[in-house]
């Protein structure tokens, strides 16, 4: 599934293509997609395909195509503070993007059938938290993953504001999925070969919208052959944040506001002159004409007399352009202003590192 948009050279170009094709339509979704590099969730030997609009599968590890994730994120209509349940959470790529939008007071849970994929997702989550500068641009709702079959969730589990299922749902399981939702909640899932959005408008009232045709592997049915008993999946409890954690969130938020105010003041209320680049020198190129005649190829070159006299000069100029172009157009490396500000505070080092979530950079 996928192939709806052109491949990108990097994550930003992929997002540009998804925006142009109207798969990404809102600013919150765009910010989340740009903040997390899709390639980080690929195995090293497959990263060349990370920015193609294609699904990827290796063993039990699976990623849907970017156009599918875009439609899912838009359909979920995510807002800060909501609760989210990801059924078939896989690599954690989608759950991490959702966590950037939910913020520190949301709930972000995932259920995954394969324990090896859970370990892979935890590694990728740890890598994102420790190394990505995007982590400091948001207040993150860290996902929690549990192993089990999503068709065996304990009936006493809490209901969620938003639910996504990443495998094909049979009609017989539609009501089971709906009952995971709070009133006013949104469920997105592949149902009968259509990506479907279901909104719970009342205790027994629903609105259904078909988004697009899709092809997903079906949900794996529970297997009770070994014990004959159902293995109930118990979702993580909704944890109450400690006072210490709430203080960290508040301090980081205050520092971000100060940084924003300082930036606005320096740039004159945000009006900033666009960066100026040195204009490339334009030089005349010799034109070559190729003539096909009776399966023979004749090539002629049209040039000014001065061209032939200055071939060496032109070659030197070309080399000079190639040497200077990267330095002229290369943007400044991004600066993590929050980290710099925290490290400059007159605080004990342990407190600074706590405010930075003990991140490596």
- Per-residue DSSP letter, 213: E
Q: Taking a C-beta distance cutoff of 8 angstroms, is the pair 140, 338 a contact?
A: no
Which single residue is written with the structure tokens 């944890």?
Answer: 239
Tokens found for residue 324: 């200077």
Query: From CA 328, how far away is CA 16, in angstroms rounded?
Result: 23
Q: Taking a C-beta distance cutoff of 8 angstroms, is the pair 8, 51 a contact?
A: yes
State the helix-helix crossing angle for 93-102 and 66-76, rounded to 10 degrees: 30
Closest to 192 (Cα-Cα) out of 157, 168, 163, 228: 168
Catalytic residue status for 132: no
Query: From CA 18, how far away is CA 7, in angstroms rounded?
Result: 10
Given the residues 6, 64, 306, 327, the one annotated as active site: 64
Query: From CA 339, how far away is CA 138, in angstroms rounded?
Result: 13
Query: From CA 346, how far away is CA 247, in angstroms rounded?
Result: 17
Long-range interactions of 12-16: CB distance < 8 A, separation 24+: 13/51, 14/38, 14/51, 14/53, 14/66
Residues 6+ apart with CB under 8 A from 132: 35, 36, 37, 40
Query: From CA 30, how far away is CA 159, in angstroms rounded?
Result: 27
Burial of 219 (C-beta count, 10 Å sphere; 0-12/13-18/19+) = buried
Active site residues: 64
């Amino acid at each position: 599934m996928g192939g709806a948009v052109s491949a990108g050279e990097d994550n930003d170009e992929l997002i540009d293509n998804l925006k142009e094709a109207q798969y990404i339509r809102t600013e919150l979704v765009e910010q989340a997609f740009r903040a997390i590099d899709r390639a980080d969730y690929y195995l090293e030997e497959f990263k060349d395909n990370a920015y193609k609009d294609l699904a990827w599968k290796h063993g039990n590890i699976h990623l849907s195509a970017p156009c599918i994730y875009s439609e899912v994120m838009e359909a979920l209509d995510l807002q800060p503070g909501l609760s989210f349940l990801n059924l078939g959470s896989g690599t954690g790529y989608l759950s991490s993007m959702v966590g950037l939008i939910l913020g520190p007071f949301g709930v972000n849970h995932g259920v995954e059938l394969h324990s090896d994929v859970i370990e892979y997702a935890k590694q990728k989550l740890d890598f994102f938290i420790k190394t990505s500068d995007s982590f400091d641009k948001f207040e993150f709702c860290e996902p929690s993953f549990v192993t089990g079959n999503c068709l065996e969730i304990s009936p006493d589990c809490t209901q969620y504001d938003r639910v996504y299922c990443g495998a094909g749902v049979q009609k017989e399981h539609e009501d089971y999925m709906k009952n995971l939702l709070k009133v006013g909640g949104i469920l997105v899932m592949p149902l009968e070969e259509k990506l479907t959005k279901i909104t719970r408008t009342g205790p027994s009232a629903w609105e259904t919208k078909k988004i697009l045709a899709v092809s997903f592997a079906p949900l794996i049915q529970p297997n009770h052959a070994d014990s004959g008993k159902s293995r109930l999946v118990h979702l993580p409890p909704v944890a109450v944040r400690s006072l210490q954690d709430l203080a960290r969130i508040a301090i980081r938020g205050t520092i971000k506001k100060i940084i924003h105010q300082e930036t606005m003041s320096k740039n004159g209320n945000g009006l900033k002159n666009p960066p100026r680049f040195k204009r490339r020198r334009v030089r005349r190129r010799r034109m070559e004409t190729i003539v096909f005649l009776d399966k023979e190829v004749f090539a002629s070159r049209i040039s000014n007399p001065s061209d032939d006299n200055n071939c060496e000069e032109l070659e030197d100029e070309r080399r000079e352009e190639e040497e200077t172009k990267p330095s002229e157009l290369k943007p400044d490396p991004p600066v993590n202003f929050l980290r710099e500000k925290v490290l400059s505070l007159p605080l004990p080092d342990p407190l600074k590192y706590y405010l930075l979530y003990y991140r490596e950079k």
